[in-house]
Amino acid sequence: MKHENVNAAPYDLNHPDPDTRLENLKACMKLVEEGKISEPPKGEYVNNHIHTTFSFSPYSPTCAVWMAYRAGLQTAGIMDHDSTAGAREFIEAGRIAKIATTIGVECRVDFSSTPLKGRAINNPDQKSIAYVALHGIPHTQIDRVQEFFAPYVRARHERNRLMVSRLNEIVRPLGLTLDYDEDILPISESARGGTVTERHILFALSQKLVNRYGKGESVVEVVRGKLGIEIPARILRLLLDAGNPYYEYDLLGVLKSDLVAAFYVEATDECPDVHEIASLSKQVGAILAYAYLGDVEESVTGDKKAQKFEDDYIEELFEVIKNIGFNAVTYMPTRNTLQQLRTVKSLCERHELFQISGEDINSPRQSFVCEALKNPEFHNLIDSTWALIGHEIAATEDLNKGMFSTRSIQSWPSLDERIQAFKAIGLTVSRH
């Protein structure tokens, strides 16, 4: 997958070869140094939840760093599904672009062994299953985390094949067939340790639909008439525009919103128990975060319908994750209301849970900048990001120096004190 506009990058940052991507980034930064590309304005913005082509995204790890740099971010965090295979490229790209980076991994876990069994938590497709994130993975533990997820990724491939078979039954009357090995794996980084998600499957279908029916009114008629999918007015305008440079991504959003339920196969073998992930997090010195979703209306990318999630039992949820051993909550998606954000922030403070900012980037229409960070109420998320960076630096040197290690908690019993101590580490090292 290649993004047609990599924000004025004169060299290919989505080249198939990672080394070539990094060399091209060096060339881009040389042009910045020479004044041939203007430096972006710097603000206080941070983002710790950027997907790359190692899960689903228009951006390679190198290109993602460039996009973050061009957006004026101070820091950027990689966050791929079940994979840390793009982490080292991301770290090196950050070094080249002189932007601080953090390393994370996102996964789905099973809450069936908790009081949340049977609830719609933060996963639109399946009850009892929730998305969580490991943030601040020490660089010495990148391979260990990748190895942990390897069997779950294999299970995911098997489930993906079943879903493709189901999807083919739906689209066969349209004269379309998807082949997992020929149509889907090639648009992923699976060969280099990346994962394949439902978005890859539907992106391949989007490409097939466009190739068969073209862009504009013809494909809209197929989606609405033959697939029976209602298209929101905002997205309809985009799909009627044959010159839309993000056409397949916009079409993907519509398909994901309405079609997934028709071919979805429940994830079981690929979702570790939540207690197992909590144990892994402690072993590798990472920060385990619950990914708050909240009740949503239409999502930014059009890939989620209005739906209720954890807001009705939010206080119970916080008690459960605190008892399991979660260290943090990651939030600040554009879809949340101010009241939702205030509620989550208040609950984090009450339960002494670290607050992490992350704008889930996986579409070219999304801004890397989270405008909500302009609100002084949420400036704590900037401090916490520098603390996250400080944690990653310290824990890479010695796991016992991490932010939630026994030694650090004894040194700074208050979470607020610890945040300031690790923020100082992050700022000091990053500025040198």
Last residue within a domain, chosen from 205, 228, 263: 263
Summarize pLDDT for 262-320 with one digit per residue, the tens. Answer: 999 999 899 999 999 999 999 999 999 999 999 877 554 455 566 899 999 999 999 99
Residue 36 DSSP symbol: S
Q: What is the pLDDT of residue 44?
A: 87
CB 176 within 8 A of CB 209: yes
Dist CA 266 CA 382 (whole Å): 37
Does residue 4 belong to any structural domain of this protein?
Answer: no
Instruction: Please determine, for residue 1, whether its predicted confidence score (pLDDT) is greater than 50.
Output: no
In this predicted structure, what is the pLDDT of residue 301?
A: 47
Q: Is residue 241 part of a domain?
A: yes
- Residue 248 and residue 182 share a domain: yes
Q: Would residue 394 count as lying in a domain?
A: yes
Instruction: Clarify whether residues 49 and 132 are in a common domain.
Output: yes
Whether residues 31 and 97 fall in one domain? yes
User: What are the tens digits of pLDDT across the range 230-277?
Assistant: 999 999 999 999 999 999 999 999 999 889 999 999 998 999 999 999
Closest to 270 in 3D by CA, of 147, 150, 120: 150
What average pLDDT does the segment 161-176 reach? 97
Q: Do residues 31 and 129 both lie within one domain? A: yes
**Co-location of 102 and 129 in the same domain:** yes
Scanning the structure block, which residue is given the tokens 């972006």? 40
Q: Give the domain range for residue 219.
A: 152-263
pLDDT value, residue 8? 62
Distances (CA, A) of 138 to 70, 149, 356, 366, 368: 26, 16, 17, 28, 24
pLDDT at 335: 77
Instruction: Identify the band that residue 5 occupies on the pLDDT scale cut at 50, 70 and 90.
Output: very low
> H or E stretch including 77?
strand 75-81
pLDDT tens readout for residues 30-44: 999 999 999 998 888
Is residue 367 in some structural domain? yes
Number of independent structural domains in the chain: 2
The verdict on residue 236 lying in a domain is yes
Choosing from 263, 290, 308, the residue where a domain stops is 263
Residue 2 lies in a domain: no
pLDDT at 372 over 80: yes
Q: Do 104 and 236 have their domain in common?
A: no
Round the average pLDDT of the chain to a whole number and report it: 93
Whether residue 144 is found in the same domain as residue 156? no
Q: What single-letter DSSP state applies at residue 101?
A: E
Highest mean pLDDT among 4-8, 279-283, 425-429: 279-283
Per-residue pLDDT, 6:
45
User: Same domain for 162 and 121?
Assistant: no
End-to-end CA distance of the chain: 35
H-helix segments, 217-332 = 217-221, 233-239, 247-263, 274-284, 314-324
> Are 340 and 197 within one domain?
no
CA-angle at 17, arms to 141 and 201, nearest 5°: 80
Confidence of residue 202 (pLDDT cuts 50, 70, 90): very high
The mean per-residue pLDDT over the stretch 403-429 comes to 96
Q: Is 220 contained in some domain?
A: yes
pLDDT at 71 over 90: yes
The model's confidence at residue 331, banded by pLDDT at 50, 70 and 90, is very high
Q: Last residue of a domain, which of 243, 263, 283?
A: 263
pLDDT score, position 4: 38
H or E, element range at 104: strand 100-110
Q: Are residues 280 and 402 in the same domain?
A: yes
Check residue 9 and give its pLDDT. 81
Kindly indicate the confidence band of residue 151, based on its pLDDT and cuts at 50, 70 and 90. very high
Cα–Cα dist 194/180, whole Å:
15
Lowest model confidence (mean pLDDT) among 19-28, 93-102, 365-374, 384-393: 365-374
Residues 349 and 423 both lie in one domain: yes
Same domain for 375 and 279?
A: yes
205: CB partners within 8 A, 6+ apart:
167, 171, 176, 178, 255
CATH code for the domain of 314: 3.20.20.140
Identify whether 11 is part of a domain.
no
Query: C-alpha angle 103/302/300, rounded to 5°?
Result: 55
